[in-house]
Amino acid sequence: MASYITKTEWIDLENRIRSEDYLKANTISAFSSRGPLINGERKPDISAPGEFIVASFSSDGWERPRSIYRDGTHVLWRGTSMSSPHVAGAIALLFQQNPNLSALEIINILNSSAIDQGPAGWDKAWGYGKLNVLSAMNIPSTPKGLSAKASDRTITISWLPNEERNISGYKLYLNSTKTIDVGNITSYQLDNLTNGVSISLSLSAYNSSGNESPKTPEI
């Protein structure tokens, strides 16, 4: 299991901003082992967040204010021991979705759904790429670029198309109460509205398997 960097700055227990300026987010960790194995087997399989991960802090832990998060109950740490739990959690979700999966099927799903990094395909640092839980579970990513333009009694809403090829459509949520299935388009117009009345909007995508993405933040 490879590790990559997710953050380089945090606020510690003494309310000081700490940073590791020599590190760059979304790059492979220096301590992450490179493959392949001595016998030529391709390892690592994939990579996951493992550098400066905020995790629960034990009261029996060491006194090291620099690494303790400002809330006093979490600590920042790094290592493949931090990236491995991300993958373990993904495996648990896959088994929850389908308890009949075999270990080999799980490996194939995680490897094939990973976001490729570095040289195309498997490489000795990233493996097959970054862990992608939503893709592994066949859940669409959250739509991007949601925007709205108001005019007299109308609102024109637009967004960017999802990159997944099996997207069947999008759902528009109004005031968190009303849902409109707008189909597989990237713009929609609300008509006959009352001027001066505010409306909150969010959007999700769904695929041909019926799986729905997380909603966008409301606008």
Please indicate, yes or no, whether residues 151 and 122 belong to a single structural domain of this protein. no
Instruction: Please indicate, yes or no, whether residues 155 and 127 belong to a single structural domain of this protein.
Output: no
Q: Tens of pLDDT along 49-89?
A: 999 898 888 877 766 778 888 888 888 889 999 999 999 99
Confirm whether 212 is domain-assigned. Answer: no
Cα(203)–Cα(183) distance, integer angstroms: 12
Residues 19 and 118 in one domain: yes
Task: Give the integer Cα–Cα distance in Å for 78 and 86.
Answer: 13
Name which of 159, 151, 149, 214 is nearest 182 in CA terms: 159
- 142 in any annotated domain: no
Residues near 93 by Cβ (< 8 Å), separated by ≥ 6?
133, 137
* pLDDT, tens digit (0-9, with 9 covering 90-100), for 92-101: 999 999 999 9
Structural domain contains residue 217? no
| Residue 109 maps to a domain | yes
Contact 127, 44 (CB under 8 A): yes
| Residue 76 in tokens | 């920042």
Domain boundary among 110, 136, 162: 136
Pull the structure tokens for residue 170: 């999008």
* CB neighbourhood size of 2 (10 A): 28
CATH number of 56's domain: 3.40.50.200
Structural domain that includes position 194: 147-207
Residue 202 lies in a domain: yes
Q: Which tens digits make up the pLDDT trace of 116-166?
A: 999 999 999 999 999 999 999 999 999 999 999 999 999 999 999 999 989
Same domain assignment for residues 179 and 123? no
Let me know whether 107 and 24 are in one domain.
Answer: yes
Q: Is the dihedral of CA 81, 3, 89, 71 positive or negative?
A: positive
| CATH number of the domain bearing residue 177 | 2.60.40.10
Give yes or no: residues 38 and 57 share one domain: yes
What is the count of structural domains for the chain? 2
Number of H helices, E strands in the chain: 3, 12
Taking the CA atoms of the chain, what radius of gyration do you get in angstroms?
A: 22
Based on the domain organization, do 33 and 78 belong to the same domain? yes
Token readout for 135 is 């893709």
- Token look-up 């945090």 returns 10
214 domain-assigned: no
Answer whether residue 105 shows pLDDT above 80. Answer: yes
Same domain? For 121 and 152 the reply is no
Domain final residue pick, 136, 161, 184: 136
Does residue 200 lie within any of the structural domains? yes
